[in-house]
Amino acid sequence: MDVQFLGGAGEVGRSAILVNDRLLLDYGILTATPPQYPVGDPDPEAVVVSHGHLDHVGAVPALLSGSSRPEIHWTPPTAELARILARDTLKLHGGTMQCPFTETHVARMGEVDHRHGYRESFEAAGHEITFYNAGHIPGSAHVLVDDGETRLLYTADFHTDDTRLLNGTTARPDADVVICESTYADVRHDDRDAVESRFAETARTTMWEGGTVVVPAFAIGRTQELLLVCEAHDLECYVDGMGTEVLSMCRQYPEFLRDGDALGRAARHAREVTGRDGQRKRIADQNTVIVTTSGMLSGGPAMTYIPEIRTDPINRISLTGYQVEGTPGRELLETGRCELNGGIYPVSAKADLFDFSAHADHDGLREFLGAYEGSTVLVNHGDSCAAFAEELRADGYEAQAPDLGKTVEC
């Protein structure tokens, strides 16, 4: 089996892996200015998508240009998320050099759309493929690829712990080769229950004191998780931004959730913001929790709420995930200032980070790989892939961190 890394090698973003020159696993975007796309110019017979995050599925419509119509295989939630993300990319960058596809390409996805559940094997470009729950976001999958000689497990992004939204991964199918993500290979997460309690306690205190809590959250997975947390702790809340649309989508596929009824209760508990008639400014004056995109304060309705609440130290901004360097969220945590709608402003409201991560940490990755001691491990999707591969080699694994563009024969 030949495995070529067209993206996501030694980096987080633009994941793309070409197998035997005919089967593509993921085809993502690296969010930057300008955005970056996988290298090479693949023309695969089929594409298998692990999950509906921009860095794994964002560039898929571009594969449907000219007369190319590769089959696209994914779970139903991933198919829906791919459309939501493609529309968002068109809205942000459509018609510019920063967007490699048009409405026409997005519409074509319907012609080649093949949906599969977990543990239902199917054929794609001459390979037998099986999805397993990866516990990362709704519909996320580990992808097992069998070409008749070699069994390759592409972990893609995964979480070993249960969250309120999803069960953690438990499947460990036999594999000769494992391509393993390493986003948090050098991190140990705090205990989830402790993070959640601290989040709920600080939010409640802020509301008692007469303040507002703005909770920037990624649209996919994180918004829904935070609504579940709010419902469980009886925190009055609003939900705003793209996470609302994703919430409705998730509720249509309860079999891809840990507890569909719980998400239904959380959705009814939260009040949906339409944004009409100055509604956001009025809500920003209330003693309430507002769960809203974007998760790193780089756009979305958060850009209306933060300016409204920033000057009063009673208010609180509870960030809910890793803040990439250079984002306003990171700047806020490090400097107490924040770029908002083009200007830099001081923020007196309290700002904190709560690590509601959807990725396995160092110990989770090692626990997962404990099932693959005799397999070849190819480390990708991280900022320190080489260091993690070296750690694995020191512990007896056959492991390496391939460079961008490299082909590994396995």
Interface residues toward Zn ion, by CB under 5 A: 53, 157
> DSSP H helical segments within 270-326, as ranges?
279-283, 302-309
Give residue 45's identity as a one-letter amino acid code: E
Of 58 and 211, nearer to Zn ion (C-beta) is: 58
Query: Which residues, in sequence order, are CB contacts of 24 under 8 Å at separation 6+?
Result: 16, 17, 18, 42, 44, 46, 47, 48, 63, 70
Minimum CB distance to Zn ion, residue 181 (Å): 8
Structure tokens at 315: 């208010």
- Strand 113-115 to 350-353 pairing: unpaired
| Diameter of the chain measured on Cα atoms | 64
Minimum CB distance to Zn ion, residue 30 (Å): 13
Q: Can you tell me the distance from the alpha carbon of 136 to that of 298, in angstroms, rounded to the nearest whole number?
A: 23
DSSP states of 328-357: HHHHHHHHSEEEETTEEEE--SEEEE----
Minimum CB distance to Zn ion, residue 309 (Å): 30
Q: Can you tell me the distance from the alpha carbon of 98 to that of 103, in angstroms, rounded to the nearest whole number?
A: 14
Of 17 and 207, nearer to Zn ion (C-beta) is: 17
Of 157 and 161, nearer to Zn ion (C-beta) is: 157
Of 157 and 391, nearer to Zn ion (C-beta) is: 157
Of 58 and 329, nearer to Zn ion (C-beta) is: 58
Of 50 and 150, nearer to Zn ion (C-beta) is: 50
Of 223 and 376, nearer to Zn ion (C-beta) is: 223
Minimum CB distance to Zn ion, residue 43 (Å): 25
Minimum CB distance to Zn ion, residue 322 (Å): 12
Minimum CB distance to Zn ion, residue 51 (Å): 6
Contact 386, 394 (CB under 8 A): no
Minimum CB distance to Zn ion, residue 53 (Å): 4
